[in-house]
Amino acid sequence: MNDLDSLLAQAASEFDAAPTAAELENAKARFLGKSGRVTELLKGLGALSPEEKKSRGADINRLKTAIEQALQARREALADAELQAQLKAQALDVTLPGRQRGQGSLHPVSRTIERIEAIFGSMGFDVAEGPEIETDWMSFTALNNPENHPARSMQDTFYVDVKDAEGRWLNLRPHTSPMQVRYARMHAATHAGQDPMPEIRVIAPGRTYRVDSDATHSPMFHQCEGLWIGEHISFKDLKVVFTDFLRRFFEDDGIETRFRPSYFPFTEPSAEIDMMFATGPLKGRWLELAGSGQVHPNVVRNYGLDPERYIGFAFGMGPDRLTMLRYGVSDLRLFFENDLRFLSQFR
């Protein structure tokens, strides 16, 4: 092996031994740099005769090319290795179970409320929402609720430690009925001077609160108020509307309703609405569903309307109970415990 061949072998072995691109460039400088071995060889040419210079010069140039090729080969090998390492570090293990995105869905009671809104909406009812913290007047007085009525008492109603303008404790509304008054007053004001006033037709679903807790009562529960007021609205309209609503809600045209005389301070006469399924596991049993009645003249007056002229009905039902009946749920508390094993069944 002549000196040039051995220099090539040395360069190739140093290149191969360089573990990184930076060290490879250092090795390159040792051979091809300004004071590198090949450069030194070229400088030595000056001392040779023209004949020798020619053949030695050509040999050194070949060596230089060969060293550059070895360098390039190592550069590519290093770049390739780096890419492979990178790919390996970012590798996906396709056999790992995926991380699932939680699939959200509406709460069953929300679904019921949307359903109620859609059905009453199709019958021309507006949907209203109102405050959950109410004044004493809205929750009780305006609704013809006597001072000594039990719904007003501390055992039943949650009170807030803040007084309203009349010096009475605010309450967590124990029913959605105040929305009758809020909505009707707003409606009357909006249409003041219009004769006759356009009818009031509204439902008001929302959260309500009472000091009560067992399998069928929760301190927070839902109600949906309904109100239809005009010049000629009668109990017959209530029967038709509510029966139609139930048949559509439960998709059972055989459902029967029964209006059982009852008492509420804000209606006269008052009735409990019972229903009976024509099919299914509850078939043949009367189920209590809602309170209702013809709105009391005192309440119509509190709407800001003339009770001699405007008349109609109100009802209050429980979306929680409708949900229990629709899905066959026996314990109301399941709705409010937020157990995903329960809730995910309604997806």
Task: Closer to ligand DAH by CB, 175 or 247: give it.
Answer: 175
Contact (CB, 8 A) for 222 and 318: yes
Nearer to ligand DAH, 31 or 249 (CB): 249
Question: Quick one: 304 exposed, middle or buried, by C-beta within 10 A (0-12, 13-18, 19+)?
Answer: middle
Closest to 256 (Cα-Cα) out of 285, 225, 291, 280: 285
- Written as one string, the DSSP assignment of 165-191 is TTS-EEEE-SSSTHHHHHHHHHHHHHT
Of 106, 103, 112, 104, whose CA–CA distance to 327 is shortest? 112
How far is the C-alpha of 239 from the C-alpha of 194, rounded, in Å?
Answer: 29
Nearest approach in angstroms of CB 107 to ligand DAH is: 22
What is the nearest approach in angstroms of ligand DAH to the Cβ of residue 166?
21
What distance lies between CA 184 and its chain's CA centroid? 32
Token output for 294? 């013809």
Closest by CA to 181, choosing from 143, 147, 124, 208, is 143
- Shortest Cβ 118–ligand DAH spacing (Å): 21
Least separation in angstroms between CB 318 and ligand DAH: 9
Q: How far is the CB of 143 from ligand DAH (least distance, A)?
A: 8
CB of 154 to ligand DAH, least distance (A): 17
Cβ distance to ligand DAH smaller for residue 15 or 209? 209
- Closer to ligand DAH by CB, 67 or 314: give it: 314
> How many CA within 13 A on the CB side of residue 186?
12
**In the complex, minimum distance from the CB of residue 271 to ligand DAH, in angstroms, rounded to a whole number:** 8
CB 265 within 8 A of CB 145: yes
Name which of 135 and 292 has its Cβ closer to ligand DAH.
292
Check: CB of residue 140 under 8 Å from CB of residue 178.
no
Decide whether 41 or 180 has the Cβ nearer to ligand DAH.
180
CB 212 → ligand DAH: shortest distance, Å? 11
Nearer to ligand DAH, 112 or 177 (CB): 177
Q: What is the largest CA-CA distance in the chain?
A: 134
Q: Which is nearer to ligand DAH, 225 or 320 (CB)?
A: 225
Going from the C-alpha of 233 to that of each of 192, 255, 294, the distances in angstroms are 20, 23, 9
Token representation of residue 166: 């009349």
- Residues lying near ligand DAH in the complex (CB under 6 A): 175, 177, 225, 264, 267, 291-293, 314-316
Q: How far is the CB of 108 from ligand DAH (least distance, A)?
A: 21
| Residue placing its CB nearer to ligand DAH in the complex, 66 or 186 | 186
Query: Each residue of 78-87: b (16+ CB within 10 Å) or e?
Result: beeeeeeeee
Query: Which tokens in the block code for residue 152?
Result: 């007003």
